Structure 1
Amino acid sequence: MKALAARRHHPMALLVILLLALVATGGLYAAFQPSEAQAEAYSQDDIDAGKEVFRANCATCHGRNAEGLVDSDGNTIGPSLIGVGAAAVDFQVGTGRMPMQMSGPQAARKAPQITEEQTRQLAAYVASLGPGPAVPADEYLDAAQGDPVKGGEIFRINCAMCHNAAGAGGALTRGKHAPPVVGVEAKHVYEAMETGPQNMPVFNDSNLSAEDKRDVIAYLDKLEQNGSPGGISLGSLGPVTEGLYAWTIILSLLMGCALWLGAKAK
């Protein structure tokens, strides 16, 4: 006991205790962190091929090693991609938002500029630079396994204020907008929730589980299947567009009647 007590006062005792505490904390974090709905693991060949794709298409803005670039005035040309994960790459490149067609407040969706295989390789390379959200597995993209009722509740609470309850999108500030989400590929809906592109908040597995995201996908799938049960949707933007159409038609009829009566009186 005397020998043990003597070691407690050793100069290295505090360092040893600190290291043990860090190891224990890291182990507990790894044991209890939410499991990722990862689709696949990448090979070294994928990573090497993705590096070539990156340097040919992305390095101009994001830097040769994805470290990001700034101009002489300190403005960001392209952010660092270290740690953004494969899901962010798959979403941005798979929807054609990257590479950007032109500078602006928001990257617009367009036809993809590279193939699906090149996108997968590019995602593999960026994923190798640091841990981040992975491309989701197919089981979490199957709308048939989701609960559209629960998904509707989640969507109305977290998403409808920007994308509207019908998923038709809406305007934001300073030239930005929330795009329509009905008819979007399930994988890209999941990745958008997981990574929070542009103005969107991040809904990772700590606040919305993989099953919750699948429920949202099921809800959006039901919206697409049901269409507009009330007839012409008028953009699904609510009473503003409905009122505008009604007044336009009514005023046109009133003006037509006035012109007809005036011509008849002559």
Structure 2
Amino acid sequence: MKKLSARRRHPLAALVVLLFALAITGGLYAAFAPTGSAQADAGQSSLAIEQGKKLYAVGCSSCHGLSGEGTKDGPSLVGVGSAAVDFQVGTGRMPAQQPGAQVPSKKVIYTQDQIDQLAAYVATLGAGPAIPTADQYAAGDVARGGELFRTNCAQCHNFAGSGGALSEGKFAPSLDGASAKHIYEAMLTGPQNMPSFPDSIMSQQNKQDIIAYVTHTNDGAKNPNYGGLTLGALGPVTEGLFGWIFALGALIGIAIWIAARTPKAKKS
């Protein structure tokens, strides 16, 4: 006991215990502390949010409020998510040129990096749908997508995605040239007059199938229209109108021409 007590009182005992404790602390920190890449990602994310906040203050706050709470000129952005920002700004619909029944798409004024920064900031205002990854809107089944499109989308966008008029000056835009990512985001967020189709209502696979059908229909180089002139692919109403105005009009004109050149019978 005396030897053990003597060892405990050794002048270097406290130093040994301290070094041992520091070694354990350092090992635990190395094991559980975030890696350098994680710290770098966190730093980049914070920088993107800060830059997005500055862009928002200049280009969006006048309509949507300084904190995204919304005003009489623009809806609240709390909870819309980054996907809604990527769609609205990435298609040129926002910032809007002027108020109206519906905001049309136009030339995009922000770069993709700036759009990502705006989306990162708006995402901090409230939880919402995130920007989809490439595997989420990958190619699907064209035939099944056509069935889903005709059931859920053709009422507004027309069976070929050519768009159509709605009530009170609103309209369903044409899907010609729309990217797969933006189509997925539109289904996910339901912009303007369109209903939303979250995964609880329409599965990711169903969305992929619809995108496959729309891109297949719009690809005129690979899928030419063997039926001839599409007349805007607006359906039988357009075709009937064309028939009545031009085809029937041509027949009437021919009948008049024949009647004018038919010699009149002489009276006996």
Band of TM-score, shorter chain: 0.7 to 0.9
Alignment partner of 1:252 is 2:250: yes
What is the count of residue pairs matched by the alignment? 219
- Kindly state the Cα deviation for residue 252 of structure 1 after the two structures are TM-superposed: 3.4
Structure 1 partner of 2:138: 142
Structure 2 partner of 1:56: 58
- One-letter code aligned to 2:239: E
Give the % identical residues: 52
Q: Return the TM-score normalized by structure 2.
A: 0.77
Judging changes above 3 Å, is the alpha-carbon distance between structure 1 residues 120 and 265 closer, same or farther for their aligned structure 2 residues? Answer: farther
Structure 2 partner of 1:87: 83
What CA deviation, in whole Å up to 9, does each residue of 1:223-260 have, x standing for no partner?
12324231111011111111111122221342354256
Trace 1:187-266 onto structure 2 (pairs within 5 A): 187-225=181-219, 226-249=223-246, 250-255=248-253, 257-258=255-256, 261-262=259-260
Please state whether the residue corresponding to 2:245 is helix, strand or coil.
helix
Measure, in 2, the Cα distance between the counterparts of 1:160 and 1:167.
Answer: 7
**Runs of 4+ residues deviating >6 angstroms:** 263-266
- Kindly state the Cα deviation for residue 88 of structure 1 after the two structures are TM-superposed: 0.4
Please state whether the residue corresponding to 1:139 is helix, strand or coil.
helix
Q: Return the TM-score normalized by structure 1.
A: 0.77
Gapped regions of structure 2 (runs ≥ 5): 1-40
- Kindly state the Cα deviation for residue 179 of structure 1 after the two structures are TM-superposed: 0.8
Please state whether the residue corresponding to 2:120 is helix, strand or coil.
helix
Measure, in 2, the Cα distance between the counterparts of 1:265 and 1:217.
Answer: 63
What CA deviation, in whole Å up to 9, does each residue of 1:173-212 have, x standing for no partner?
0111111123211111000000000111110010112222
Q: Which has the larger radius of gyration?
A: 2
Please state whether the residue corresponding to 1:129 is helix, strand or coil.
coil
Name which structure has the greater RCO, CA cutoff 8 Å, separation 6+.
1
Please state whether the residue corresponding to 2:176 is helix, strand or coil.
coil
- One-letter code aligned to 1:251: G
Structure 2 partner of 1:27: none
Measure, in 2, the Cα distance between the counterparts of 1:65 and 1:261.
Answer: 76
- One-letter code aligned to 2:225: S
What CA deviation, in whole Å up to 9, does each residue of 1:75-119 have, x standing for no partner?
x21111011000000100110111111111000011112111111
Structure 2 partner of 1:30: none
Gapped regions of structure 1 (runs ≥ 5): 1-39, 70-75
- One-letter code aligned to 2:121: Y
- Kindly state the Cα deviation for residue 46 of structure 1 after the two structures are TM-superposed: 0.6
Please state whether the residue corresponding to 1:153 is helix, strand or coil.
helix
What CA deviation, in whole Å up to 9, does each residue of 1:62-86 have, x standing for no partner?
11111111xxxxxx21111011000
Please state whether the residue corresponding to 2:73 is helix, strand or coil.
strand
- Kindly state the Cα deviation for residue 171 of structure 1 after the two structures are TM-superposed: 1.0
Structure 2 partner of 1:110: 106
Trace 1:7-86 onto structure 2 (pairs within 5 A): 43-69=45-71, 76-86=72-82
